[in-house]
Amino acid sequence: MNIQTVAEKARVSVATVSRVINKTAKVSKETERRVLAAIKELGYLPNALAKGLRTNNSLKLIGIICTDITDFYYAQAVASLERELRTRGFESLLACTGNDTAVRYKSIDGMLRKNVDAIILVGSVFSEQNNPNIKRAASLLPVFIINGIIDCENTFSVYCDDFSAMSQCCRSLIDSGRRNILYLYDADSFSGRRKADGFKFAADQAAIDYKMLKCKKDTESIEQTVFDALNNDENVDAIAASEDFLAVAALNCAQEAGFSVPERIAVIGYNNSVIAELARPKLTSVDNRIEDICIKAVQELSEVLNGCDVPKSTEIPYRIVKRQTF
């Protein structure tokens, strides 16, 4: 006997049965009557220990899943989420999966076995529209994704508009007179594609020269890629990167090759991480406001668990933090 059987008997979704059992959202009296009747007829007994009589936030457990906690972006996101969850009285459980896709989605099932009340997926790598693991989780509890979009029932997204942000970066470089821009990226994730598409859109509109180069995420490979690009085209006058790590490595390489920054080559990064401030000269970077994204996600998650309606997706505006490289 499981919750799916109850849902089929009551002619409702699994998510609706979960809401009736946990009293986490309002349902119609008729729907509630059918669900309770099905539970009684089938003799279904929810796991009382797992639910733990969770009548307040302090007894609610939120699962957080990310890939690489050593990454500046993910580390900041997880720290912000855990801090905001504590502030609101939630407990949290963290799973770091690495980049193995199978492990990533097994972690979702693992969170369900631990009877969490909601799951937060960190990063656009989870933006897969037809993933059965995510759909199964969302049929049982709310699923939030940080800086990605999933379009299925009971999923919610809080994100920065990476397309517009990178388009604006490119336009700003063009408006300053730059006409030959090197774009560096390291990931083909949802967010990575949005940034690349935004850059290409603005560059094509202005009909400038540009190259888009994918890099391995290690300093030596990035610097070699940039060194070769500058050697092959002496007219490159700007570099935009999808992450600050790439931009700082490119900045160092350009200066070592004898190019002055920003006079000869301008450089813009993305994420406004701590290394942007530590770079010399200090790196201009897009602030995608990951802390604000995480705070908003936890706020909306709390509202969902209390039976309130929230938007399927919430966009947090970006800003460009101008420093010394552009």
Q: State the DSSP string of 8-47.
A: HHHTS-HHHHHHHHHT-B---HHHHHHHHHHHHHHT----
First and final CA of the chain: distance in angstroms? 63
Contact 111, 65 (CB under 8 A): yes
Q: What is the CATH number of domain 162-287?
A: 3.40.50.2300
Give the pLDDT confidence score for residue 57 in this predicted structure: 56
CATH 3.40.50.2300 is held by the domain 57-160+290-316: yes
How far apart are the C-alpha atoms of 93 and 5, rounded to whole Å?
Answer: 29
Q: 176 pLDDT band (50/70/90 cuts)?
A: very high
In this structure, are residues 58 and 88 in contact, taking their beta carbons and an 8 Å threshold? no
Domain with CATH 1.10.260.40 in the chain: 3-46
Pairing of strands 238-241, 91-96: unpaired
Is the pTM above the cut of 0.85? no
Rounded CA separation 74/136 (Å) = 25
Structure confidence at residue 39 (pLDDT)? 87
Which of 188-192, 206-210, 322-326 bottoms out in mean pLDDT, i.e. has the lowest? 188-192
Give the integer Cα–Cα distance in Å for 152 and 142: 11
Asked if the model's pLDDT at residue 204 lies above 80, the reply is yes
* 8-26 pLDDT per residue, tens: 889 887 778 877 877 766 7
Q: What is the CA radius of gyration of the chain?
A: 23
CATH class, domain 3-46, is mainly alpha
Instruction: Give the Cα separation of 279 and 134 in Å (integer).
Output: 39
**The pLDDT of residue 97:** 93
Domain with CATH 3.40.50.2300 in the chain: 57-160+290-316, 162-287
**Cα–Cα dist 270/293, whole Å:** 15
User: Model confidence over 52-79: pLDDT tens digits?
Assistant: 444 455 568 999 999 988 888 999 999 9
How far apart CA 26 and CA 69 sit, in angstroms, is: 36
